[in-house]
Amino acid sequence: MNMNNKIERDLGEQPIAKIMAEHGFKPNDLVSNSTEQITHKMVARAAKGRRLNLKIQYRLLNALNKVSGKQYVLKDLFNY
């Protein structure tokens, strides 16, 4: 694979990081309140802007909605 076809994986800080900061949430808040299997590493990677697959994005979305009591959508959390 040459450099032109490489998928950009590090996409910069994502909106999920700002939302978590506004609410005062730590990664553990999402992990401990999730009904699905998510890890602290997944939350950290999401905030840093590492590309995550759709399944993991939805798990993080569901956890954030549960802990915040709001109804965010994927485009609120990720800009890719």
pLDDT digits (tens, 9 = 90+) for 25-77: 999 999 999 999 999 999 999 999 999 999 999 999 999 999 999 999 999 99
pLDDT band at 23 (very low <50, low <70, confident <90, very high): very high
pLDDT band at 4 (very low <50, low <70, confident <90, very high): low
Q: Residue 6: its pLDDT value, please? A: 64
Token reading at 35: 């009904």
What mean pLDDT value characterizes the chain? 91
Model confidence at 80: pLDDT above 90: no
Q: 11-77 is classed in which CATH architecture?
A: Orthogonal Bundle (1.10)
* pTM for the full predicted model: 0.86
Cα maximum dimension of the chain: 45
Given a contact cutoff of 8 angstroms between Cβ atoms, the answer to whether 63 and 10 are in contact is no
